[in-house]
Amino acid sequence: MDGLLRQSNIGETVVAVKNIKDPSGKAGVAAGEMIMTALSQMSKTSGAFKVADFEVDPLKQDTVQTLTNLLLPTGAMQIPAPQLYISGAVSYVDQSVLRKSNSIGLSYSEKAELGASGDLMTTALGLELHIGDFLTRTLYPGIDSANEIVAATKGLGIDSGARINKTGVQFSLERNLSQGLGGSMRTLVELGTIELVGKLSKVPYWQCLSLDQSHPEFQRQLLDWYDSMGESSKMKFFQTGLKNLGYYSGNINGRSSQEFRQALSEFQKDNKATPSGFINFESYERLMKNYVRVDANGNFKKVGLEPSNDADDKDNEPREGYPYLNSDKDSPINVGMKLNKSAYRKGDNLQLEVDVDHDSAYLACFYEDAKKSITQIYPNPMQKEGMISKNNPLKVPNSDAFSISLNEKGKESVMCMASYYSVADKLTDNFGEAFNPLKVKNMNQLSEQLKSIFGEDLKGVQTVNYQVK
């Protein structure tokens, strides 16, 4: 949800959360605090929501709130006025909605006894949530959620007792399965908050709902898709998918090979499937797990097999930022580079921002200092290789883990290359570890070496020059 909100650029909203009442008194959870946690988690990178933490009930004042009341009249504090507020209640808690009990007993004379029992009890919970305008205290029509969940408690016990002379001996074996009300309420709160925020921001929030791959309906749908493919189609599908994920570097021709079987075996091992090296439904399920979504009607649909002609079609994007499976890997990648300053002086630090015009690209960047020494600055041990997209530019460095200091006066340059496939392993095999000086005379010679190493997989190169004064 955080990613969807970041892409939508809805801006920052200050929210207040009312006390979520529980008229039944049976739920016994802090639902309001759970809503705050959910809002915080979906705002980590998007910055979509901030919660105004201000309790107005004088009977529930704590030290922080008491100090707040003292400082507010003096103007020493500035609490932003919320724009929205979330209200709601635990609508019902029906205990023992379904109860099943079985028991059996056995007695032998007066010296031995055996008993066994099994119980299944369920509790249904309902939660209603609403969003309202804070200044007018009016609820937005249609922006609400009403969900329910069933918590189950299952017990199986065996009790046995035997009398030895005058001494009683008893022992018991128990196995219990319990889905507590607390965990169930957190699930309800998170579902309700996702639904509220999704409706408010008009983003496809159903993409964020968990996709249970063990669900029979999910398995049935995948099996139908798998069975409808011919053997050659399956081979091309796996060759393309494994190549886009960085496992396979051979041709996509629908024919098996030792290289393909080795790549498939590695993929199977990494995804906890039997590493046989042969195509099967188990491997298809692992490959497709990030290319299936649930639409607004609850139906399973394939996504991310090919890029959509509509650049804003977020419903077609693969899950978890995976690359498109059947995307066009022949087109060039335009690389854009921005420096953090228009002019540099000795002692300044260099920071680079690199963007591409395609999704699912990989980059490598090289730095030539004033003494004409060239090093690889990305990827490196402190900034691992990652997938770059047109909505997710690369920043080098991206943290304080390392810095690029400009210590000499003169002309310097940075060059970045782009590929649709992972480049880290080939760079290490040919150049060694990052930050070590490369055995090349200049950027032109390096560019020729990169063309030789990556061949047709090299889809874009860009160089930027600057002067250190």
The pLDDT assigned to 336 comes to 94
Q: Which residue has the higher pLDDT, 302 or 132?
A: 132
The pLDDT assigned to 294 comes to 64
The pLDDT assigned to 125 comes to 78
372: confidence class by pLDDT, cuts 50, 70, 90: very high
Is the pLDDT at 114 greater than 70? The verdict is no
Cα distance between residue 189 and residue 234, in whole Å = 41
In percent, the amount of the chain with pLDDT more than 70 equals 75
Is the pLDDT at 50 greater than 80? The verdict is yes
Is the pLDDT at 393 greater than 80? The verdict is yes
Average pLDDT, the chain: 78
pLDDT in tens, 177-213: 344 567 777 877 888 888 888 888 877 666 566 555 6
DSSP-derived pairing of the beta strands 335-339 and 362-368: unpaired
Q: Do the Cβ atoms of 46 and 6 come closer than 8 Å?
A: yes
The pLDDT assigned to 105 comes to 55
First to last CA, the chain: 46
The pLDDT assigned to 318 comes to 66
pLDDT in tens, 276-288: 999 999 999 888 8
The pLDDT assigned to 121 comes to 55
Region 423-443 average pLDDT: 92
The pLDDT assigned to 441 comes to 92
Is the pLDDT at 164 greater than 80? The verdict is no
The partner residues of 139 in beta bridges, in order of sequence, read 132
228: confidence class by pLDDT, cuts 50, 70, 90: confident
User: Where do the domains of the chain lie, and which CATH numbers do they carry?
Assistant: 1-99+115-157+168-210 (3.40.50), 212-330 (no CATH), 335-468 (2.60.40.1930)
Cα distance between residue 435 and residue 361, in whole Å = 22
Range from 71-75, 124-128, 169-173, 328-332 that averages highest in pLDDT: 124-128
Other C-beta atoms within 10 Å of 215: how many? 11
The pLDDT assigned to 436 comes to 92
The pLDDT assigned to 203 comes to 74
> Prior bond to 275 cis, omega within 30?
no
107: confidence class by pLDDT, cuts 50, 70, 90: low
Region 156-170 average pLDDT: 36
Cα distance between residue 97 and residue 306, in whole Å = 47
Can you give the length of the chain in residues? 469
Q: Which residue has the higher pLDDT, 65 or 137?
A: 137
Cα distance between residue 147 and residue 264, in whole Å = 42
Is the pLDDT at 313 greater than 70? The verdict is no
Q: Which residue has the higher pLDDT, 226 or 307?
A: 226
Directed axis angle between helix 258-270 and helix 231-244, to 10°? 70
Q: Do the Cβ atoms of 221 and 302 come closer than 8 Å?
A: no
DSSP-derived pairing of the beta strands 49-51 and 13-17: parallel
The pLDDT assigned to 161 comes to 38
pLDDT in tens, 318-328: 666 566 776 55
Q: Do the Cβ atoms of 391 and 360 come closer than 8 Å?
A: no
The pLDDT assigned to 60 comes to 67
The beta strands (E) that lie in 10-165 are given as 13-17, 49-51, 84-108, 112-133, 138-164
Range from 26-40, 229-243, 405-419 that averages highest in pLDDT: 405-419
The pLDDT assigned to 306 comes to 66
The beta strands (E) that lie in 231-334 are given as 292-294, 300-302
Amino acid identity of 420?
Y
Query: Of the ranges 50-54, 348-352, 445-449, which one carries the lowest mean pLDDT score?
Result: 50-54
Range from 200-214, 361-375, 393-407 that averages highest in pLDDT: 361-375
Q: What angle do CA 342, 345, 350 make, to 5 degrees?
A: 65
